[in-house]
């Protein structure tokens, strides 16, 4: 098992205090904190190796290119893909928009169906809304159950509409729900659909094998998996990527340029126009090293333990907890409300005790509304969190219930 007390020492920000109270960070679903090894790897790049990649013949450029491409290889191994199938982007949102523009504009025509679900983050909903608007097509969403899980019967029923593209999440950023991706991909492929998976919330927390899962594309973001902001990736099956047009035009994504036309570079460079986020990619590579050292099985088991502890503590105090109660069916996320208190008030009260949680609709309004709420409080856990962190949150929440007369 992960020794979270030991892990905490690797994260400088967790040492800061507020009025003598230590910083309890329970918002990793929004963005994880960064270990010192990631911070140092990026600093060392700027101090010792900074130059552009894929261009220079001098030592610094060669070394920068090596570090950049080594990070791509690390990410490919992490997801069990090939380096040429892993395209660096700014984040998962850009990855999803890349597919919507480059593939979607070719694939979708008038009256075609695009299928998604009520579990989705706005980043895996809005790009498809824009696509169907451009193409005069249809967007259909599979419902969720009262428990906040995907209604598989409704998903399969909507597959009868023969969607050309299916966009689904690996893990809900609100309820932590883990849909049966492998089964959904298989069912969608049987209908001839291309499957795009939003892996932003899932990849940092569990082992992911794109080959065995079978998806055609998967969006990844670095900042939720101990890496820096501004770096992400798109996994795509080679056969799709080779036949898709570039998303952006400019330097490095070309082989030959003439005034009237150009030819495109090989994968993955065809989709990486201009100077990339070199330091971000290097930092992401170091973050992957850190996670590999911990072991993704251990990461998953640690979060399951924390969720069980949090679910029991919140439920017994009369708080409304959303999503599945079984830790095997979800990641380390718990969304909740206290009757009579707005989630923003809850978050503000916790902040007074130096405890950070999220409040609001979490960029997933259709999901939150489908569960009968306008907003929710959300605590999310990662490798540096302990049961004591949860106890501190629960103590503060119980205090809020008492002073505001909401205790049951």
Q: Which of 39, 341, 363, 373 is catalytic?
A: 363
Average pLDDT over residues 285-303: 98
User: Which residues, listed in sequence order, are joined to residue 168 by a DSSP beta bridge?
Assistant: 197
Q: Is the pLDDT of residue 76 over 90?
A: yes
Q: How far apart are the first and last CA of the chain?
A: 35
**CA–CA distance, 255 with 270 (Å, rounded to integer):** 9
Distance of CA 207 to the CA centre of its chain: 14
Query: Does residue 99 or residue 55 have the better pLDDT?
Result: 99
- Cβ within 8 Å of residue 40, ≥6 positions away: none
Reported as a single tens digit per residue, the pLDDT across 295-313 is 999 999 999 999 999 999 9
Q: How far is CA 64 from CA 50, 208, 233, 250, in A?
A: 7, 28, 19, 20
Closest-CA residue to 195 (of 174, 175, 176, 180):
180
Confidence of residue 406 (pLDDT cuts 50, 70, 90): low
Sorting pLDDT into bands at 50, 70 and 90, what band is 179?
Answer: very high
Nearest Cα to Cα of residue 281 among 96, 65, 104 = 65
pLDDT tier, 374 (very low <50, low <70, confident <90, very high otherwise): very high
| 164 prior amide bond cis, ω within 30 | no
Q: What is the pLDDT of residues 79-109, one digit of tens each?
A: 999 999 999 999 999 999 999 999 999 999 9
pLDDT band at 65 (very low <50, low <70, confident <90, very high): very high
Predicted confidence band of residue 166 (pLDDT cuts 50, 70, 90): very high
Closest CA to 28 of 210, 287, 276: 287
Q: What percent of the chain has pLDDT over 70?
A: 99
Query: What mean pLDDT do residues 352-364 have?
Result: 96
Tens of pLDDT, residues 8-27: 999 999 999 998 899 999 99
pLDDT tens-digit readout, 104-138: 999 999 999 999 999 999 999 999 999 999 999 99
φ and ψ of 24, to 5 deg: -105, 110
Which of left, alpha, beta for 59 (phi over 0: left; psi -120 to 50: alpha)?
alpha
Give the closest residue to 283 by CA, choosing from 332, 202, 331, 221: 221
Predicted pLDDT at 399: 85
Q: Which carries the bigger pLDDT value, residue 398 or residue 224?
A: 224
Fold adopted by 295-403 = 3.90.1150
Residue corresponding to tokens 């036949």: 243
- Distance between CA atoms of residues 80 and 203, nearest Å: 12
Residues contacting 88, CB < 8 A, separation 6+: 72, 231, 232, 233, 268, 272, 276, 277, 281
In degrees and rounded to multiples of 5, residue 326 shows phi and psi of -85, 120
Q: Please report the pLDDT score of residue 123 as a whole number.
A: 98
What pLDDT, on a 0 to 100 scale, did the predictor assign at position 55? 85
pLDDT at 352 over 60: yes
Overall average pLDDT of the 151-169 stretch: 98
113 is catalytic: no
pLDDT at 324 over 90: yes
Residues facing 85 on adjacent strands: none
Buried b (16+ CB within 10 A) or exposed e, 332-343: bbbbbbbeebeb
Q: In the CATH scheme, what is the code of domain 39-292?
A: 3.40.640.10
pLDDT reading at 214 higher than 90: yes
User: 70 with 285: CB under 8 angstroms?
Assistant: yes
Residue 408 has pLDDT above 70, yes or no: no
Say yes or no to pLDDT of 405 above 80. no
Domains 39-292 and 295-403 fall in the same CATH topology: no
Q: Where are the domains of the chain?
A: 39-292, 295-403
Across all residues in the chain, what is the average pLDDT?
Answer: 96
Share of the chain above pLDDT 90, in %: 95
Confidence at residue 407, expressed as pLDDT on a 0 to 100 scale: 57
């Amino acid at each position: 098992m992960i020794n979270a007390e030991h892990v905490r020492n690797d994260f400088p920000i967790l040492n800061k205090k507020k009025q003598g109270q230590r910083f309890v960070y329970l918002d990793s679903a929004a963005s994880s904190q960064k270990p010192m090894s990631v911070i140092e790897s990026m600093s060392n790049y700027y101090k010792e190796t900074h130059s552009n990649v894929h261009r220079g013949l001098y030592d610094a450029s060669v070394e920068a290119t090596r570090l950049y491409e080594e990070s791509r290889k690390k990410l490919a191994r992490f997801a069990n893909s090939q380096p040429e199938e892993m395209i660096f982007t700014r984040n998962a949102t850009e990855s999803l928009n890349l597919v919507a523009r480059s593939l979607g504009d070719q694939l979708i025509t008038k009256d075609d169906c695009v299928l998604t679900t009520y579990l989705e983050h706005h980043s895996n909903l809005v790009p498809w809304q824009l696509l169907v608007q451009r193409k005069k097509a249809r967007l259909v969403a599979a419902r969720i159950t009262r428990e906040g899980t995907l209604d598989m019967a409704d998903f399969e029923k909507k597959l009868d509409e023969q969607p050309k593209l299916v966009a689904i999440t690996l893990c809900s950023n609100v309820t932590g729900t883990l849909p049966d991706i492998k089964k959904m991909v298989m069912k969608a492929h049987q209908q001839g659909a291309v499957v795009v998976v939003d892996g932003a919330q899932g990849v940092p927390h569990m082992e992911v094998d794109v080959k065995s899962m079978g998806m055609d594309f998967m969006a990844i973001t670095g900042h939720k998996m101990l890496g820096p902001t501004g770096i992400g990736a798109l996994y795509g099956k080679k056969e799709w990527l080779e036949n898709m047009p570039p998303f952006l035009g400019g330097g490095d994504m070309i082989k030959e340029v003439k005034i009237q036309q150009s030819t495109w570079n090989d994968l993955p460079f065809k989709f990486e126009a201009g100077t990339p986020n070199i330091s971000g990619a290097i930092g992401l590579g170091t973050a992957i090293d850190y996670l590999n050292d911990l072991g993704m099985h251990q990461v998953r088991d640690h979060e399951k333990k924390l969720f069980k502890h949090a679910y029991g503590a919140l439920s017994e105090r009369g708080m409304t907890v959303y999503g599945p109660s079984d830790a095997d069916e979800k990641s380390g996320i718990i969304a909740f409300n206290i009757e009579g208190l707005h989630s923003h008030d809850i978050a503000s009260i916790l902040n007074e005790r130096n405890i950070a949680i999220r409040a609001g609709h979490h960029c997933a309004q259709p999901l939150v509304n489908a569960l009968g709420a306008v907003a929710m409080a959300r605590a999310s856990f990662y490798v540096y969190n302990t049961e004591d962190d949860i106890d501190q949150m629960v103590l503060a929440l119980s205090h809020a219930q008492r002073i505001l007369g909401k205790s049951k």
